[in-house]
Amino acid sequence: MKSLKKAVLVILAIGLGIGSGLAVSLLFGDRLNNMIPNYWILQLVNELITTVIGTVLICVYRKTRVLRSSTENMKEGLICGAAWIVIPVLAVLNLLTDLRDIPDARLIKWWEIAALVLQCILIGFFEEGVFRGIATELSFELFGDDNKRNTRLSIAFASFLFGAVHLINALHPEISIKAAAMQAVSAFAIGLTFGAIYYRSGRTIWPCVIFHAIQDLSAFVIKGSLFGVTQEEAIGDTGIGQVIYSVLFVVWFLYLTREQESEHAEIHEVVPRSSI
């Protein structure tokens, strides 16, 4: 019964986070569209709202310890995710190629680019707060973290849910079911890596927030958002290649979780868990 309660709490946390965002969109979406005609500012405002929702959920579930960090934990998290630097490098190279091959290409305004960057940071905070700070923590309480198998199972469970919620994007008219499904698979694999980095960094979300923001911003740049391609169009353009490179994230996850909890605890203090 206790395990069932924990599983329900994990799903409930995600449902509250995503559901609250959808509810706000349904209730106030038209009003916001009329008040804020600029697409990029509108997206930023939407993410500001979800950030507030995510912060409230972290407090409600009493997981505020995941917002704390130390120099050592940040260092460990950044080292574990250091290979992520390859992704923004590819994004910059892709941008330079587009500027060279399309002479009349026009970038969106600088303040729109700033709004996009801030939005990606807020997306990182909301999703890492909900899926790592709450869902993964509850998964640790459900499956345990006393050995490598349980630790991987806990992270995989939360990551599966992380990937699954991306299927909601199929409800958007510009995003096909196929594109949403491929994004879900990719999100699951990336979620595994985020979960491993979260675990290795002493259960603080901040390294994951940084890498999540880099991942999203790089993806939007590669898809052409700096030239005006909307985020819905970018997601709708998800291809099989994104699923293929997901294998690399799975391998990365297995590598980072190769140590057992007892081995890892000797090096870095794990943030104590708390229950709702």
Please indicate whether residue 30 or residue 200 has the higher confidence score (pLDDT). Answer: 200
Dist. CA 184–CA 163, nearest whole Å: 4
pTM of the full structure: 0.89
pLDDT tens across 4-62, in order? 666 777 777 777 777 766 666 666 667 777 888 899 999 999 899 899 989 999 998 99
**What's the distance, CA 46 to chain centroid?**
16
Q: What residues contact residue 21 under an 8 Å CB cut-off, 6+ apart? A: 46, 49, 50, 53
pLDDT at 274: 43
Q: What residues contact residue 266 under an 8 Å CB cut-off, 6+ apart? A: none
Mean pLDDT score of the chain, rounded to an integer?
86
Dist. CA 94–CA 102, nearest whole Å: 12
Q: What is the largest CA-CA distance in the chain?
A: 63
pLDDT at 276: 40
Check whether 264 has a pLDDT greater than 70.
no
The residue-averaged pLDDT of 249-272 equals 68
The residue-averaged pLDDT of 64-86 equals 95
pLDDT at 1: 59
pLDDT tens across 21-35, in order? 666 666 666 777 788
Dist. CA 54–CA 51, nearest whole Å: 5
The residue-averaged pLDDT of 70-96 equals 94
Dist. CA 179–CA 238, nearest whole Å: 5
pLDDT at 273: 44
pLDDT tens across 205-259, in order? 999 999 999 999 999 999 999 999 998 888 888 777 777 889 999 999 999 999 7
Dist. CA 250–CA 253, nearest whole Å: 5
Percent of the chain's residues with pLDDT above 90:
57
